[in-house]
Amino acid sequence: MTSVTTDPRHVILEPVVSEKAYNLIQFDKYTFKVHPKAHKTQVRQAIELLFGVHVVAVKIVNVPGKPKRRGQTSGFRPGYKKAIIQLRVGDSIELFEGAR
């Protein structure tokens, strides 16, 4: 993969849609898939630029790929990197407003 550019749209790929991610919203924590080479500072700056919020903490998790089978064929679902973002109390991201 190529290196990450300074464009925030290349750092933040998509929101993570899962039950666990939506449960974290009540604690002002939001989960996003990020570029595999992105680091905490880039993620913090990208979130602050894209959504106009103040980020308190960033935690990065490398999610491993899962083995999958379909009949005799076996393979792996690809892994990804995700970031759990904690916002200042009172801030929210409108993308997730339907989940509250």
Domain-wise residue ranges, the chain: 8-90
DSSP H helical ranges for the chain: 8-11, 19-24, 40-51
Strand, coil or helix: what is 30? strand
CATH number for domain 8-90, candidates 3.40.30.10, 3.40.50.300, 3.40.50.2000, 3.30.70.330: 3.30.70.330
User: pTM value?
Assistant: 0.85
31 vs 1: which has the higher pLDDT: 31
pLDDT of residue 56: 97
**How many CB atoms within 10 Å of residue 65?**
11
Q: Name the band, by pLDDT with cuts 50, 70 and 90, for residue 97.
A: low
86 sits in which H/E element: strand 80-87
Q: pLDDT tens across 51-95, in order? A: 999 999 999 999 999 999 999 999 999 999 999 999 999 998 887
